Every structure is written in structure tokens, then in C-alpha cells.
């Protein structure tokens, strides 16, 4: 299945997205919907192409780029996104497996003649949100017993088990042998430029701490 999205038409058709254009500028909203379709592809495993009108972009962007598995196309100067989408659908060998996300009537008429399907932007946006909300619910779903801890009967059972354990230490059956002695390594002389204690990198706990900080920052940026 191939999903082709009329990018700016998608933004201006969905009120929840359009209201952010004036405040955050269209580039930020554009990047946001790209991230939405990246997550959509991860769940549905469809091929995804998002087409934007290059005339709306102020910065010089490549005509075609790949973002985490989805293809993003910016139309050339003088050519709008509608023409790009029509050209893509004309080249589709299996139009029955292609869906176009747009509210543009001209594109709708064209892709229907090609045999492609139409998805309304609002319906697509709703589907993506349902997938994301379902993901959040699944990650938060945890057995109630695990959150509340062991029951009173379980606690009493294990308390009795530990109480009945013998106090004396069980002698190991493995015969201890002395390790062969090794020669101590000679200490190499150090220079002024070579400190005695060299930095060996951050500890494992420190690395995990900063990794968690960056992940939370990235998560907050996506939410914004």
C-alpha cells in the first residue's frame, strides 16, 4: 500500500494543525506532520510519500529526501504540489493499492480516473491520533498487582519461607584452589603532559542519565 499526502492541503484542512501555522510558522507545522507520518509508517508499514509545494518554502530544500523511511518531495519552482502528485499517480503500476490524502477537488478527479483511492485529511489525522493514543495506553497498561505490590497473603508466605531458612551457612562443595601468582606490571613513567589519572569516559549511570535527559527533551519538542 502506498499513501501519498498533499502536504500543505493536509495542514490547512485539519483545524488542529491550521491554527498553529500563524504562531509557529508553517515550517514547524510541516516538520510536525512529517514526524506524524513517520510514526504512522512504523505502525502500518505502508510506503508513504508527502508532497509539499516548493513555492511555500523560503529556505533552499532538496527536491526529494528521505526522513526515517518516508519520502518527502518539494515541488520545483514554478510547479505546484498538485502537478507533482498527478505525475506520481500517472506512474503507479498498481493504482488500486494507492491512496491519496487530499481535499483538493482537482486532484480527486484526476486520481479517481487513474484508479487510486481518496482519503480525507481529517479522517487520516484522526486515524493517526488513534494509533498514537493506543500506543500510549499500551505502554501504560501494567498489571494492577504489579503496581500495588504483593498481596498480604503473598507477603506472609514469603516471610514464613525466609524465617524457616537455616541460620548456618552451607559449606560450598567446590574445592578452593589458590590462583597462580602473576608478576606485577611495571609502572610506566609519565610525563608532565600525560596525567597519572586518565579520563576513561563517563560512568554507566552518568551515560544513562544524560541519555534520558535528551530523550525527554526530544519528546517535549515533538509534543510542542
Residue 47, domain CATH: 3.40.50.1000
For residue 181, being part of any structural domain is answered with: no
Whether residue 40 is contained in a domain is answered as yes
Helix or strand (DSSP H, E) at 224: none
- Asked if residue 103 lies in contact with residue 15, where contact means CB atoms within 8 angstroms, the answer is no
Q: For residue 9, what are the domain limits?
A: 2-138
Give the global pTM.
Answer: 0.60
Domain assignment present for residue 67? The answer is yes
CB 60 within 8 A of CB 82: no
Residue 18 and residue 9: Cα distance in Å, rounded? 10
- What's the pLDDT at 73? 93
Buried b (16+ CB within 10 A) or exposed e, 80-90: bbbebbbebbe
What number of residues does the chain have?
A: 224
Give the integer Cα–Cα distance in Å for 171 and 160: 24
Query: Rounded CA gap, 66 and 76, in Å?
Result: 17
Task: Tell me whether residue 213 is in a domain.
Answer: no
pLDDT tens for each residue of 73-108? 998 877 889 999 999 999 988 999 999 999 999 999
Q: Is 25 left (phi over 0), alpha (psi -120 to 50) or beta?
A: left
Assigned domain for 46 exists: yes
What pLDDT is attached to residue 219? 63
Per-residue pLDDT, 195: 47
Give me the number of domains the chain comprises.
Answer: 1
pLDDT of residue 196: 44
Contact between 57 and 74 (Cβ < 8 Å): yes
The segments of the chain whose pLDDT lies below 50 read 170, 172, 174, 192, 194-202
The reported pLDDT for the residue numbered 22 is: 75
Amino acid at each position: 500500500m502506498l499513501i501519498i499526502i498533499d502536504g500543505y492541503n493536509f495542514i490547512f484542512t485539519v483545524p488542529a494543525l491550521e491554527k498553529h501555522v500563524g504562531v509557529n510558522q508553517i515550517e514547524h507545522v510541516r516538520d510536525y506532520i512529517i514526524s506524524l507520518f513517520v510514526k504512522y509508517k512504523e505502525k502500518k508499514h505502508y510506503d508513504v510519500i508527502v508532497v509539499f509545494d516548493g513555492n511555500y518554502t523560503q529556505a533552499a530544500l532538496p527536491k526529494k529526501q528521505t526522513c526515517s523511511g518516508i519520502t518527502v518531495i518539494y515541488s520545483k519552482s514554478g510547479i505546484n504540489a498538485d502537478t507533482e502528485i498527478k505525475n506520481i499517480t500517472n506512474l503507479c503500476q498498481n493504482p488500486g493499492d494507492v491512496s491519496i490524502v487530499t481535499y483538493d477537488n482537482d486532484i480527486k478527479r484526476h486520481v479517481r480516473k487513474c484508479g487510486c483511492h481518496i482519503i480525507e485529511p481529517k479522517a487520516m489525522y484522526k486515524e493517526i491520533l488513534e494509533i498514537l493514543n493506543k500506543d500510549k495506553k499500551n505502554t501504560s497498561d501494567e498489571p494492577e498487582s504489579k503496581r500495588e505490590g504483593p498481596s498480604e497473603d503473598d507477603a506472609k508466605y514469603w516471610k514464613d519461607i525466609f524465617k524457616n531458612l537455616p541460620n548456618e551457612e552451607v559449606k560450598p562443595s567446590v574445592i578452593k584452589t589458590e590462583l597462580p601468582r602473576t608478576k606485577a606490571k611495571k609502572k610506566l613513567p609519565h610525563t608532565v603532559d600525560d596525567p597519572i589519572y586518565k579520563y576513561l569516559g563517563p560512568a554507566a549511570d552518568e551515560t544513562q542519565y544524560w541519555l534520558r535527559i535528551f530523550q525527554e527533551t526530544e519528546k517535549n519538542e515533538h509534543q510542542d
